[in-house]
Amino acid sequence: MVQEMLVKGILSLILTVPAVLYSPIGESLGFHVMPPFGLSMEVFGFLLTTPVILWGGSLFTRSAWEALKHQEANMMTLIALGIWVSYLYSVAATFLFKGEVFYEAAAMLTTFSIAGHWLEMRARFSTGKAVEALLNLVPETARVVRGHQEFTVPLSEVKPGNTLVVKPGDRIPVDGQVTSGESYVDESMITGEPVPVLKKGGDTVAGGTVNKDGSFHMQAQKVGSDTALANIVRMVQDAQGSHAPAQRLADTAGRYLVYVALLAGLITFTVWMLLTGNVVFALTAAVSTIVITCPDALALATPTAITVGMGRAAREGVLFKTATHLENTATLNTVVFDKTGTLTEGKPSLTRVVALKGSEDEVLRLAASVDQHSDHPLARAIVEGAQAKNLPLLEASGFQNISGFGVEARLEGGTVRVGNVDLMLRASIPLQNTARMAEEASLQGETVMYVARGQHLIGLLGVSDQVRPEARRAVQELHRLGIKTVMLTGDSEHTARAVARQVGIDQVIAGVKPDQKRGRIQDLLHKDRKVAMVGDGINDAPALATATVGIAIGTGTDVAIETAGVVLLQDNPAAVPVAIRLARAVKGKIVQNLFWAAIYNVLAIPVAAGVLYPSLGLLLKPEWAALLMSISTVTVTLNAISLNRVQIKKA
């Protein structure tokens, strides 16, 4: 479609140039050559202009006709009306009666309109192609292991569960998990991060990324349209086709402006006919008014910026699911972070064992025997701590996961509980004199877990999750953007504040159960805050859905990613300020475009209608009206394209 428009534009221009030269405009420029073959200037203008109108302007004519059949009027209606009124009047003045013609106006109007639409389509097309080009990163074949042999097969034959071999320099064919071997993988085309990432057994890899220097075996998990790369492309395309609130407002204004243009053209023609009785003069002013009022720039102000902005965001590793989410992100003044896995590494390790009864190893062994049935990160840290000491774990029965409190199970005839202080209080277990020990651990950023056997507290465990090195830089960048930062966590107040001090968080909301997170977000919203919730877990999903904008870290759960309005492909909180800067840049371009489009129409309509003619003798010709209309459209488009050059500072 873009190529077809370009061809039409070039051929129309080739015919328009002589049409202009062999017209009063050409004479005013000093071109005084008679048309060839003894043709009159009027007939020669007719021959040059007719193919431009019928073929070059067919897009506008067809669109206007379709609108007319539905009893509607749109931008194309105005362009087509301006073209055909100029052309048909000139044809009548050539063959039916002798009068002034303006074929050059019809030809220039058509050519300039084609040029404006070509630039707009090219901006959209190039952005779309840049995103779709990601799909071409996937290789056409894959190396599949069958038995003990390796076969090269078409990518379409790869099924989930297949074992694949990936060699140095290969593009990884599908999403999957490394089963043996290790290598550094370049994931920059998906995450935007230029530094290769080490992948070893158990790590996931994405189709389309590049294996750098080692060989490994992987198990295919997601293929075809289910891969991360395909989902990214689909998400961006859906977002580019969505409508932001500003766009809906512009579309409504544009529809009314079409009727304003038609009415203004009719009034202009009537007034000048009554004042001058000169049909050519009145028609010139009317056509100019209709053409220059065309709300093309107004209609393109938002969607062009959205389209370019979505493409730029995807290249930065940020996916906005809809244009509304993008626009809402630009308004944020508060960002709420979940602690574990967002501000911290999400890989806690055992750092403290305190035995109140028995030995430290016995306390750890009992706790790990219960926690081995849990998939909570804190539970895994305790189990890994026991395994590091080669402690034999016991068989547990009656395991229960008590959300927001901890776990319990039966071991050797007794109930063992592992959890927070609320779990102990809930079971009426005396805490003895543990407050000072728990506070000491919390002040060092450790999460304290209590271990009880029966109704007796037998020990405390300290688990620490390292703060991400980039978390502090991300928070500093948000502060520079004028955004308040909040940490929402189920940890104790002491532990939460220790982490908050390290990263510079403004406000801490601690001791929050999973089912209470949504309520805390609502509290902030009720204070007239525009709130983003950043999380990665299933228990974050209700809060993500409640916030002004939910932001999911790309390595998070499917539920979190599905619920959020913004997905960060990088497992990195530093991408949050990047997303906000991008959204603000796009919104800025939208405001600039809408302002330009509005000012243009306010100033252009009276000039085209001939308001300045009595005092200055200035009457805008239709061809110059078309040029101004096209310049307005091109200005809006180029302003949107400039988003590709906006500096987005990464924390």
List of residues 6+ apart from 437 with CB closer than 8 A: 354, 460
| Known active-site residue 338 | yes
Residues 516 and 615: their CA atoms lie apart, in Å, by: 71
Three-state SS at 272:
helix
Strands 484-488 and 397-402: unpaired
List of residues 6+ apart from 500 with CB closer than 8 A: 487, 508
The amino acid sitting at 323 is A
Q: Are 253 and 223 in contact (CB under 8 A)?
A: no
Other C-beta atoms lying within 10 Å of the C-beta of residue 259: 11
Six-digit token string for 595: 């302002």
DSSP 344: B
Residues 220 and 216: their CA atoms lie apart, in Å, by: 13
Other C-beta atoms lying within 10 Å of the C-beta of residue 279: 15
The amino acid sitting at 469 is P
Q: Which residue among the candidates 170, 296, 338, 465 is catalytic per the annotation?
A: 338
Three-state SS at 434:
coil
| SS3 letters across 472-523 | HHHHHHHHHCCCEEEEECCCCHHHHHHHHHHHCCCEEECCCCHHHHHHHHHH
Q: In whole angstroms, how far apart are CA 57 and each of 42, 70, 77, 291? A: 20, 21, 12, 14
Six-digit token string for 357: 């009864």
- Output the DSSP codes for 346-364: S--EEEEEEESSS-HHHHH
The amino acid sitting at 188 is S
Question: Closest Cα partner for 580 from 327, 369, 401?
Answer: 327
**Residues classed as catalytic:** 338
